[in-house]
A and B are shown apart, each in its own frame.
Chain A
Amino acid sequence: MTERSEHLISLFLLDPSAMTEEQARELSSWISQDTRNTKEFIRASLFRRCIHDILLSSDEGRICILHDSMTTSDANAESFFDKQFWHLLLQEEATAPKIEIESPAIPEHELFQKIEPMQQVRREKKVRRINKKSLFKAILSTAALIFFVFYFASLYNTKNVEVATLTDSLNAQWAESSAPTINSRLMTNHTPLMLRKGYAEIVFDNNSKVVVEAPAEFQVLSYDEIKLTYGRLYVTVPQEAMGFIVSTPNSKIIDLGTEFGVQTDINGSTELHVAKGKTALVSGAGDTKNNILVYAGAAKKVAYDSLESIDIACNNRMFARYIDSKSRFVWRGQNISLADIVGGGNGFGSGVLNQGIEVSTGRATFTLATTDMHAGRGGYVRVPSNPYIDGIFVPGLGSDMTQINSVGLQTGAFPNTSGMIWGYIINGAWHHGFDVERHNLQLDGVTYDGKRNPAITMHSNLAITFDLHALREKLPGVSIKSFSSTFGVSNTVEKWLKNRDFSDMDQSPEVVRLAREHEATAEFWVFLDGEKVLQQKVSSASKAGIVDVPVDESVRFLTLAVTEADDTSMFDWALFGQPELILESSN
C-alpha cells in the first residue's frame, strides 16, 4: 500500500469534506483497479469504525484514552509507542506541510465564531431519549421517588460498574465478540450483547430478572435499565425494584411493580405485553412524547414510524418467562395440564394422548382390557412409572376409610360404593362400551377431543392423587397458584341411554331411575392433602361443574375422585375438562 493511497484513505475517512473531486476520482480508481486494494480500503474503513465502537461502547476503552497517562501508559516502560516516534510526531505536527487539503468550505473565522463550549456542541443522538424525571413526575407525582431514583441513577449511570449477573442460559449461542458465561457479571456500558440462539437469564442487583430469547441484541445500561435493540425479553420486577426500565429504539417501558414482555422488531417497532401489575409506556420524543399506563392483560404496539401506541391482543404465551438449564425447561406462562401428566408427560404437552393408568396395577396403558364394567381393586396403588402421580385408588370400597395418598392419609368422606369401574384413567375423553361405539365425551355441548380440549376420563369409583412437590422440584422458578377444571358426566349419555334395553336387568330402583330419566349422575371430589375442597353431584343433563381452588405452597397432594351417585355406576362417563395447575412466577 503506497503512502499516497494511505493519505487518500485518511482524507476520505477523517475529513471527506476536504477532498477534491480529483482526489475522490483517484481514490475511486485505486479501490476499483484491484481487489487487493478494495480489501485494503475495507480494512482501513472498518479499522476506523472499530476505534469508534471500542471507545464509545466501553468505559474501559474511554477511560484509558481520557485518563491521565502519567498514571497509566507513561508508566509502562514497554509501551509499544516509541517515545522518539511521538516526539518526532509532536515536532512534525507543529511544522507539518500541507497535504493537498483544500481550504475549508466555510472560512475559518466564521467557524471560530460559531464555536460553542465542548459540552454544548456534543452531538445529539438520534435515538430518542426520554426524561426519566419528568416521566415519574407525571405518572407518580412523587417527589421522594424521583429523588430516590435519580440519586441512584446518577450514582451508577455514569460509571462502568457491575450491575447484573448472567444467572442461567439454555442452548445459548452468542456473537463471537461477546460471549458471557453463566455467573458472568455484566457491566454498564458494556458492548451490546448479541444472543443468536437460545435463552439467557439475567438478574440485576436489585433482583429484577430478565429472560432474553434469541435472536436478540441488548445492552445493560444501568442498575435499573436494559436496552433492547431487537428481540424479545421478559421482565419480572420485585416490588422493591419498582421503576425498572426497558428502552427500545422508539419507546421506554417503566415498571410500576409488574411482569411484562417486550418485543422489538429489527425496524424498531415495539410491542409491550403486560402479564401482571402495570407499566408506563413512553413513546415519542421531546414535547411530543406520549405517556400511558398499560395494565395486566393489555398489550400495546408502537410502530417504528409512529409516536402513538395502538392496542393489540395480549399474548400471554409469547415470552420465555423462566428457564432452567438443568431440566432444560422453558416456561412461557403456560399452566400444567394434569391430563398431559396422566398421559405420561411433564404437564406441558409431552404426554401421549389416550395413554393412562391401569387401575389395578398402576402401570401405563393405552388400551382397554375390556369394554365391560368390572370390579375395582381395593387399596392404594402406587404409580412408580410417573413421578408426578402418587397413586390411584377406588374410593369407598369395602371400608369406611379410604387411603388417598402414599403417606397413609385416610379419609372417611366417601360413601360406600359398589367399586364397579370402567376402563382406565385416561389422558383424553372418550367412552367405548360393549354396545356403545367409541366416541368423544362432551360437557355443555363442547366436545373434549383431548387435543384442543384436554381432559381426564375417570369413570365413577376411580380416583387419582398427584404429587405437587415432585412438580415443584422440576419448576424451581415458578409456583403453583391454584387448581382449576370443569367436571361432569358426558352429555352423550342421553343418546345411548335412550337406546338401551334394561328389560333383562334386575329392576332395582337405581336402574329404574336411570332408564326412566335418561341421565346419569356422578359425584365429584377434590382434596388437598386430604382436606376436601369439592364435593358436588353433576348429571349428564345438567351444566358442567367448575372448580377453582387456591393451592398453598405447602400442599403436596392433590386428589381427584369420582363416585357413583344413587343411580348406579352405569353410564357414569365422567371427566375433568381442562384440569390445570395454574402457575405464576415465584417472584
Chain B
Amino acid sequence: MDQEKNKELTVFWAQSQPTIASFIHSLVPNFQDADDILQNVAIITVEKFEQFDRNLSFTAWANGIARNLILKYYSQKGKKLVILDAETINKVAQVYEQESRSIHDQKESMQKALKKCLMQLKNKWKKIVDMHYIEEFSPVRIAQQLSMTRNNVFVSLHRIRLALKKCVERELDEVYS
C-alpha cells in the first residue's frame, strides 16, 4: 500500500478504533482473545483496504469484519464454550451501528465515574478484583487460590459488578443532576 493510502487508512482507524474495540469487547469476554480479534481486524482492514468503498462508513465496514471474526472465533471454540447465537451477535452489531456515538460517550463518562468507585473498594474484594480483572484468572482458578468454592467466587464477582454499577450510576446521577 502506498504512503497516501496508508495515511488515509490510519486516519480512518484512529477515528473508528474505539468503536470497533468496544464492539468486540462487548461480545468477547476474554480480554486477551478480544485484543487478538481487534488486531486481526486491523490486519484484514490493511489487506482489504483497496476494496473499501469510500462512499460507505469505514466503521461499519470494519465492524462487519469484526463481526465475522467473532463468529469465526465462537465457531472455533466449538463445544468448549457455549456462546451467544449468530442472530444475537448480529443484533448487537446492528445496535452498535446505530448507536456507536452514544455508546462511546457513555463509556467515556462511565470510565471517569468507575475510577472513583474502584478507589473505594474494600480489602476483601480487592484481592478477587485483582485476580479476575488484572491477573485474568477464571473463577475456578480464583477459588483454588483463595480456598473458596467456584460458586462463591462467582457470587462475589457478580455482586462486586452490581455494586460498582450502582456506584457508577449514583456518581453519574450526581454529575448530571
Chain B residues with CB below 8 A from A269, complex form = 46
A434 on the B face (CB < 8 A)? no
Assembly CA distance A176 to B17 (angstroms): 13
Q: Provide the A170-198 mask, 1 if CB < 8 A to any CB of B, else 0.
A: 00000111000000000000000011100
A6 within 8 A of B: yes
Of A16-24, A135-143, A447-455, the segment with at least 4 beta carbons within 8 Å of chain B is A16-24
Q: How far is the CB of A169 from chain B (nearest CB, A)?
A: 16
Q: Hey, which chain A residues are within 8 Å of B95, CB to CB?
A: 35, 38-39, 42
A16 B122 Cβ-Cβ under 8 A: no
Residues A313-339 near B (CB distance < 8 A): 318
Interface presence of B138 (CB below 8 A): yes
- Asked if A62 is at the interface of the complex by the 8 Å CB criterion, the answer is yes
CB within 8 Å for A74 and B144 given contacts A61-B115, A80-B170: no
Contact of A24 among B9, B10, B83 (CB under 8 A): B83
A47-B150 contact given A20-B82, A52-B133, CB 8 Å threshold:
no
Q: Which of A6, A61, A215 contacts B11 (CB 8 A)?
A: A215
Please determine whether A80 and B120 come into contact, CB atoms closer than 8 angstroms.
Answer: yes
As a 0/1 sequence over residues 32 to 62 of chain A, the CB contacts with chain B under 8 angstroms (1 = contact) are: 1001001101111111111111111000111
B25 touches A89 (CB 8 A): no
Contacts of B3 in A (CB 8 A): 318
Residues of A within 8 A of B22 (CB): 42, 46, 49
The A/B interface has a contact count, at CB < 8 Å, of 270
Cross-chain contact B103 with A42 (CB below 8 angstroms):
yes
Any chain A CB within 8 A of the CB of B54? no
Most buried by A among B22, B85, B123: B123
A93→B155 CA distance, assembly (Å): 7
Contacting residues, chain A, for B150 (C-beta < 8 A): 15, 18, 101, 104, 108
- Assuming A215-B10, A265-B10, is B29 touching A12 (CB within 8 A)? yes
Complex contact A69–B134 (CB within 8 A): no
8 Å CB contact of B26 from A46, A74, A89: A46
Interface assignment of A98: CB less than 8 Å from any CB of chain B: yes
- Docked Cα-Cα span, A111 to B91, in Å, equals 37
CA distance A96 to B159 in the complex (A): 11
**Which of chain B's residues 64-85 have a Cβ closer than 8 Å to chain A?**
80-85
- CB of A28 within 8 A of chain B? yes
- Identify which of A25, A265, A304 contacts B85 (C-beta below 8 A): A25
* Chain B residues within 8 Å of A148, by CB: none
**A216/B14 in contact, CB under 8 A:** yes
Is B57 interfacial (CB-CB < 8 Å)? Answer: no
**CB closest residue in chain B, given A94:** B152
Choose from A13, A76, A90 the contact partner of B29 (Cβ within 8 Å). A13
B82 with A65: CB separation less than 8 A: no
Q: Collect the chain A residues with CB atoms within 8 Å of residue B164's CB.
A: 47, 51
- Report Cα–Cα, A12/B43, bound state, in Å: 28
B132 contacts A38, CB within 8 Å?
Answer: no
Residues of chain B contacted by A44 (CB below 8 angstroms): 161, 165
Complexed CA–CA distance, A195 and B91 (Å): 32
